Structure 1
Amino acid sequence: AADLKFWHHGGDKLVVTVDSAVEKVRATLGDLADVVSIGPDLDWGLVLDELGRRGVKQLMVEGGGTIHTQLMAQNLADEVHLAVAPLLVGQAGAPKFLSAADYPGGSTSRMRLLEARAIGDVVLLRYAPKERG
């Protein structure tokens, strides 16, 4: 991992991890990144607090259903960008945008649509989840 170009170009690097992984990450990366532990378990609120202390005001998170579910269930996403593509993915094990969770406002709460834009044959939908009404 330390030989990837990412670690050797651009600005300062930060890795936020949990206690059980911090030593392994430090041993792998050496001085290529500042490695910070947020405790025994992943807590997105603590991750965002750490980034805020470092001056990060905006963060784009790309991930799978687990990360999306954690951020949405904890009401930590200011915007959600969804791309609707003309592909049919219906396999039982196919990844989903969100998993089961208790979401703020419950199942009848609606997000506010900020933008809908066609990009070729894909539509980008931009929502504000915290402005539920």
Structure 2
Amino acid sequence: MARPYVVLSVAVSLDGYIDDTIPERLYLSNDRDFDGVDALRADCDAILIGAETVRRDDPRLWLRSEQRRAARVAAGKPANLVKVTVTRSGDLDPAAKMFHQFIEAGKPLVYTTIEGREKLGDQLDAVAAVTAITDTDFWGTLLDDLGHRGIERLIVEGGTQIHTAFLSAGLADELRYAVAPLLIGQADAPRFVQPADFPGGSRRRLEFVDATVLDDVVVLRYLPKSTRSIPTGQSVTR
């Protein structure tokens, strides 16, 4: 089976952060951008986040739109996506919302290492399907397994380590990059990516697709596997 088409989706501040260090959750997006992400989710088969995002935000990972859920059911799909998370440490709470809410597509999937599987033991077995990856190509093997499970389109929503891993391994097909009019300025706050050896290095220009203005948020789309340039004067959709 082919690997799924991978879309990275992220919202960042003007200075490149995806969150701050205040305990209360920071919402970088606005209502129109949230709806755009919801539409993107509806076109995918699975959604992936890292264990740190599970611990920090405890998201439900559902489709907000009742109409989109209904449209998926009418098309013979589950109302919500297959949920996927990755943990190397095995530090996951079986009471997390992603394991119990909106799981029409079946048990959420957890990918981990041998060490992580040993730490988890059987504590997630009742609420998730846990797979320990032994291959050195961790992320490629993960995508192969998702492909075998029938996942054709995967949306990846972070956090920092996950986005860095997919981009540095050259596994992201598309990047949806929403820029919010905020300045975080906190040195310990998480950024979009960490330092890494990205394909092509610092001089490689990713292919720009389009830009959409959603009130005070600007959404940029790129194709990370391509370097074909777009002519100057590309229109901006408002």
TM-score by length of 1: 0.86
**Does structure 2 conserve the Cα–Cα contact (< 8 Å) formed by 1:113 and 1:127?**
yes
**Does structure 2 conserve the Cα–Cα contact (< 8 Å) formed by 1:26 and 1:35?**
no
1:54 corresponds in structure 2 to 149
Does the C-alpha gap of structure 1 residues 26 and 14 become closer, same or farther in structure 2, counting only changes over 3 Å?
A: farther
1:18 is aligned, of 108, 113, 119, to: 113
**Does structure 2 conserve the Cα–Cα contact (< 8 Å) formed by 1:18 and 1:40?**
no
Residue ranges of structure 2 left out of the alignment (5+ in a row): 1-92, 229-238
Post-superposition CA distance 1:27-47 (Å, at most 9, x none): 222332221111277811111
Task: Report deviation, 1:26.
Answer: 5.1
2:53 corresponds in structure 1 to none
2:220 corresponds in structure 1 to 125
**Does structure 1 conserve the Cα–Cα contact (< 8 Å) formed by 2:160 and 2:193?**
yes
SS in structure 1 at match of 2:155: coil
Residue ranges of structure 1 left out of the alignment (5+ in a row): none
What is the identity, as a one-letter code, of the residue corresponding to 1:10? E
2:187 is aligned, of 92, 115, 118, to: 92
Q: Distance in 2 between matches of 1:126 and 1:14?
A: 28
Question: Percent identity between the aligned chains?
Answer: 44
**Does structure 2 conserve the Cα–Cα contact (< 8 Å) formed by 1:16 and 1:47?**
yes
When structure 1 is superposed on structure 2, of 123-132 and 90-99 the one drifting more is: 90-99
Task: Return the structure number with greater relative CO, CA threshold 8 A, min gap 6.
Answer: 2
Post-superposition CA distance 1:98-130 (Å, at most 9, x none): 222111111111111112111121011111010
What is the identity, as a one-letter code, of the residue corresponding to 2:166? L
1:69 corresponds in structure 2 to 164
Question: Is 1:2 matched with 2:94?
Answer: yes
What is the identity, as a one-letter code, of the residue corresponding to 2:104? G
Question: Is 1:28 matched with 2:94?
Answer: no
Does the C-alpha gap of structure 1 residues 20 and 98 become closer, same or farther in structure 2, counting only changes over 3 Å?
A: same
TM-score by length of 2: 0.51
1:101 is aligned, of 193, 196, 211, to: 196
Task: Report deviation, 1:83.
Answer: 0.9
The structure with the greater share of residues assigned to helix is 1
SS in structure 2 at match of 1:59: strand
Task: Report deviation, 1:15.
Answer: 1.4
RMSD: 2.0
**Does structure 1 conserve the Cα–Cα contact (< 8 Å) formed by 2:161 and 2:194?**
yes
Q: Write out the 4+ residue segments of structure 1 that deviate beyond 3 Å after TM superposition.
A: 1-6, 23-26
Aligned length: 133
Question: Is 1:114 matched with 2:193?
Answer: no
SS in structure 1 at match of 2:152: coil
Task: Report deviation, 1:5.
Answer: 4.8
What is the identity, as a one-letter code, of the residue corresponding to 1:15? V
